[in-house]
Structure 1
Amino acid sequence: MTKPETPHLGQDSRASTAPGLFLCFEGGDGSGKSTQVRLLRDALTRHGRDVLVTRQPGGTPLGAQIRDVLLHGDHVSARAEALLFAADKAHHVDELIRPALAVGTVVITDRYTDSSIAYQGAGRDLGADDIRALQHWAVGGLFPDLTFVLDVPAEVGRERRGEVHDRLESEADGFHDAVRQGFLDLAAQAPDRYVVLDGRLPPEEVHAAALARAEELLGRRR
């Protein structure tokens, strides 16, 4: 089988020329992504921006079904898991993200391709390069303008999650340590497209840093 070809893009580029802004929050389970997505959405909306918030897997009716299988279903083999995540993103981009960007919306997503590279590539040990190629093919070369990586140690994430865990959250700390390193490796490879934020800091402090970078990008678009 021929491996999907990774679209050729610069480190700080994305394939779409749409006028919108595409922002992503990544990080391990319990890193605070949902809180930061909400805070940034609220701040940009107050500033008069049209904002769409979504999450992956999920965000569409099909994505919700895939999410239920992946996070709350019975055992899913590692390769099947990777393919299901890719299917969710392919549908999500075509049905929701590209159309929103095309009309100038700020799209904020809770997870995107980097999560699959970190979780399936590093955590499941399927190979970051293979999962990267699969994910990038699935989204048709559409990458975020900026990705915020919320970094927390595995034990901090587990403590925050408490006693309730989905299928991936329930993995051992060694798995989550590999995922964390996967995110940090991705950020180190393209520092112009990533901002690593200490997820252990107070949420308001993390938000202030994220908002400043988002506003900087929006200012360049004016």
Structure 2
Amino acid sequence: MVNSSGANGHHNGTRPPDEVLRAALHRYAEKSLPLNQRLDYLLKDFGYKISYTTLKKLNRDFNVNTVKKPPPEHISTTVIGEVISNNSSSRNGPSTVQNQISRQYKLKIPRDTVRRIMSDLDPGGAEARFPGRNRRPKERGHLTDTGVYYEIHFDGHEKLNFKGLVLAAIRVRLYHDTILTTSSVFVQATVDGGSETGELYAAHIALR
């Protein structure tokens, strides 16, 4: 059956004049609004209800910038450099810089591109914004010595429960036997703070 009225049952409202619509679409783009919010604003501001496809077509017709068509790399680098040069404390992250470029320069640069260029131009910026995020591991060196028996430890012993051994009378003898067996006097003797270590210390100093 022919629809002689020409109405399809859906009223999309009245399309604003081109100049008004162009200004609105560019304003929405400068604010980096997602497409669904732009559709909501068109309906709220002008009573104009359209689909995603129509909105994308209007953006193309009115040359509205999009992150899918960013400026050349050298232009992006120059613009980002100008913006972060005014941010000496490096507190503004990629999202803030991206929005500022959109408002100030009317350019749409993908966030990943902004982050990458910011990292190249200001390597310490991310660390300044998130101190401690990438903690440097502790520097650990290598234990080195001049050979076997460089250092001997005399620290600690087992109490053997109630069967404690009386070692006071033989500790220096064991010390001397170790030297005779190894045919060497070790450079360093490491002990705890016990009173019995005095004799070992005296013997070690004398032999060294």
Please give the TM-score of this superposition, normalised by the length of structure 1. 0.20
Q: Specify which structure has the higher proportion of strand.
A: 1
Q: Specify which structure has the higher proportion of helix.
A: 1
Please give the TM-score of this superposition, normalised by the length of structure 2. 0.21
Higher relative contact order at CA 8 Å, sep ≥6: structure 1 or structure 2? 1
